[in-house]
Structure 1
Amino acid sequence: MSSTKRLRVTALATGALLLAAGCGSGGGSGDPNHLKLYNDKGAWKPYFEQMAKLGEQRTGIGMEPVGYTDEPAYTAFIKSSFRTNVKPDLFTWTTGERLREIVELDQVAETTGIWSQGIEAGDLTEQLRQYYTIDGKQYCVPLNTAYWGMFYNKKVFEEHDLEPPETWDELMDAAAKLKAAGQVPFHQTTPTSLFSFVWFEQLLAGTDPELYDRLSKGRASYTDPGVVKVMEQWKGLIDKGYLTEPGDKADPADHFKSGDAAMVMSGTWFNTSMTQRGLDLGKDYGFFLVPNVNPDLPKRSLIFESGPLCSLKKAPSPESSEKYLKWWTSAEAQEKWANARGDVSANPKVKIADPELGEVAEKATSDENRLVLRYFEATPSPVLTEALSAFDKFLNEPGSYMEVLRTIQKANDRYWKQQKAGS
């Protein structure tokens, strides 16, 4: 059995077991004054609990977070809830094709009214609305917003007399200097294949963002010469020893704190992991937006994600769920949520307490950048599943990049042919 098939089978089996085990207490509470918020961010439980206290004070509705740490099991549970009476009041998801998939199953509650009111009140933006719009209607609200860049260990940079780079060549020069001194420049990925796409998306978006967009829409092939070149660049970084070893089970935040890796590419939400470890942005570490590989691009390609908070059409208490979603978008709620975690906010009214993080948010939202939807959200689910497994194989066997690209392209062809046949 292939690794991809094993992943699918394991996810479904785990989800089924969890669902069976939770039939008595799983899903929503059925009490309109007490909601259960299912999420795939188990490590954020303290922050959800802080929001629950504030939310109950302001809305009169209690909220209980139910967190998962295993993504396939979580996905399987949510999808299983579509077919059973065990349904969450609220749940987290992702935008892009994965959101479209469950909307087209006629499962997700529409939030067009919340978006219209939120934009009029200045709590939501037109720029963000497009990521929550499917066939002219909006679904879910922003749980969080994040911009991707490079976190760097200030102590390591100071030891090697380095400054945040302004160009890709400067970034590569810094990596070469660090490697020559016996320091691993970059942390490669998480202990699982969930983020195996990170360097692929950054290299491709920073080289040819138009090709990146076409690829996500089935209008380009993974064997396109431009994509092949990106894989060769990625292989070059691995061959030079610029990235940590694949299969390393250590948490990226621990690698970063210890100085084992000088830099880690991640979303601004990674700042939460840093604060949890007692580190301070601006003092112990910094953050810079990654320069384009292609210096001739008119704007910096900035990887962007916005995770949605959703409710089902057949939620246990639809009116209470909608009321809570509306409150979640308010400036008061978002200020609490963002500053508790040490992250930016989807609400433009929110003042970021950390001045360093506020500066990051200001730079990220400037006209110098072209927002590029993160690969995880931009890629259709069946293709993404194959790609995550394939990129994981590449990390362990860099010479297999053409085989990897052909494998992903087969899934890409299959998906888009099915879409055309069904249209």
Structure 2
Amino acid sequence: MLSSKRLRATALTLGALLIATGCGSGGGSGGSKSELKLYNDKGAWKPFFEQMGALGKQQTGLGMKPVGYTDEPTYTAFIKSSFRTNVKPDLFTWTTGGRLEEIVKQNQVADTSAIWTDAIASGDLSESLKKYYTVGGKQYCVPLNTAYWGMFYNKKVFAKYGLKPPTTWAELEKVATTLKSKGQVPFNQTTPTSLFSFAWFEQLLAGTDPDLYERLSTGQASYTDPAVVKVMERWKSMIDAGWFSDPGDKADPADHFKSGDAAMVISGTWFNTSMTQRGLKQGTDYGFFFIPNVEPSLPKTSLVFESGPLCSLRKAPDPEASTKYLKWWITPAAQEKWANARGDVSGNPKVKVADPELDKVTKQAAGPGNRLVLRYFEAAPAPVLTEALSGFDGFLNKPDTYMKVLQKIQKANEEYWKTHKAGS
């Protein structure tokens, strides 16, 4: 849970924003807009959003200005406050899974079923992606980005110690042990905040028992299940071995890569953007590999997958303009610019990835040897996710508390599924 100081800070920030933007956005009265505001929790992507704004203006006559946040709680508070005030975004980023379902059930999000039907028919979106945007039989939002999770590694550090990307879990452990023996911390924490504190939990559990991982997210399993406890014990043993950077380190992992301090970091392919922004080159300065299963007998490699949505409110300031932009966003012309500018993959199957290394990743991800599992951030129901992020963050600082952490998450899990149908 957020501290009282954090909540007060969030409220003050939000209040200032409402005053500053109160005259700039209408309610749901409509109008003929020539520029939309895209509120997002990806402040570092501002230059890429601005490029898309210019391209959209050129191709559709409709411009876009990004309004970026770097603090997730503040951003979430603003979007949810827009449901009750006249300060409404034209477009906004969110997450699929439980958090999307939550605001859809509040009747706040614009229905995009027609967009999906047309896009699947034209080949601009895939049927397999549709289910992640479906709530109650209808589709909401369109893909902002698509990403696969794996391990970024520092090629210069690996070369220095004669290491190669591992193909088994035993090899990954050997790489970590070697790096630690040389005075090099093997793994950097994914982020200086608790936002991605779940990363190793999902990877270890999905790579051990992907069926249990999926049952956990649908209320059909317990966080105190012996197999889940074993995953936390494995994670604790990795921390105890000194394989992770200091959880109090607030530096961006990409900065550690540039300085040579980081050997590896687990993240989505979107992390490539952070690297290229620092002048690092994939294939030269760093590489990427899919993390092998912990359990070698599994028939397929568990590959964590995510797709982040770009949404419009049902009562957007100009619903027609927002819908027009969403339709354009998923076209090949827009997606080719968006994906390749950031150095990432696209949700549009027609888009050619310019980076040969990244193209290799996308082709490998689509191979028959992988089993896609939805990222924990989207898979877990919103109240459970909130407790889990806080719990895992605390665990990183106090690994001995893992059982208490699991018990607290399980309590939130039980409370949620008391009023929801397990397995849905």
TM-score relative to the length of structure 2: 0.96
Partner of 1:247: 248
Shift of 1:26: 5.0
Partner of 2:403: 402
Partner of 2:213: 212
Deviations 1:311-351 (A, max 9, x none): 11111111111111011000110000000000011111111
Q: 1:189 is matched by which residue type in structure 2?
A: T
Q: 2:381 is matched by which residue type in structure 1?
A: P
CA separation of 1:20 and 1:383: change in aligned 2, threshold 3 A: farther
SS in 2 for 1:65: strand
SS in 1 for 2:263: strand
Partner of 1:23: 22
Q: 1:102 is matched by which residue type in structure 2?
A: I
5+ long unaligned stretches in structure 2: none
Q: 1:259 is matched by which residue type in structure 2?
A: G
Contact 1:16 1:77 in 2 (8 A): no
- Is 1:152 aligned to 2:153, yes or no? yes
> Structure 2 CA distance, aligned partners of 1:169 and 1:322?
49
Partner of 1:184: 185
Shift of 1:25: 2.7
Partner of 2:139: 138
- Is 1:172 aligned to 2:173, yes or no? yes
SS in 1 for 2:267: strand
Partner of 1:238: 239
Counterparts of 1:362-377 in structure 2, within 5 Å, are 362-377=363-378
> Structure 2 CA distance, aligned partners of 1:295 and 1:420?
33
> Structure 2 CA distance, aligned partners of 1:208 and 1:15?
42
SS in 2 for 1:281: coil
> Structure 1 CA distance, aligned partners of 2:216 and 2:4?
23
Shift of 1:366: 1.4
> Structure 1 CA distance, aligned partners of 2:104 and 2:361?
33
> Structure 1 CA distance, aligned partners of 2:31 and 2:7?
31
Counterparts of 1:344-423 in structure 2, within 5 Å, are 344-419=345-420
Counterparts of 1:22-421 in structure 2, within 5 Å, are 22-26=21-25, 31-419=32-420
CA separation of 1:232 and 1:13: change in aligned 2, threshold 3 A: farther
> Structure 1 CA distance, aligned partners of 2:63 and 2:24?
16
> Structure 1 CA distance, aligned partners of 2:248 and 2:227?
28
Deviations 1:136-176 (A, max 9, x none): 11100000000000000000001111111111110001111
SS in 1 for 2:419: helix
Deviations 1:326-382 (A, max 9, x none): 110001100000000000111111111110110011111212111111111111111
SS in 2 for 1:43: helix
> Structure 1 CA distance, aligned partners of 2:358 and 2:4?
41
> Structure 1 CA distance, aligned partners of 2:351 and 2:80?
33
Deviates further, 253-262 or 97-106: 253-262
SS in 2 for 1:184: coil
Contact 2:25 2:86 in 1 (8 A): no
CA separation of 1:420 and 1:149: change in aligned 2, threshold 3 A: closer
Contact 2:32 2:321 in 1 (8 A): no
5+ long unaligned stretches in structure 1: none
Shift of 1:253: 0.6
CA separation of 1:99 and 1:297: change in aligned 2, threshold 3 A: same
Contact 1:4 1:389 in 2 (8 A): no
CA separation of 1:4 and 1:368: change in aligned 2, threshold 3 A: farther
The number of aligned residues is 421
CA separation of 1:420 and 1:365: change in aligned 2, threshold 3 A: closer
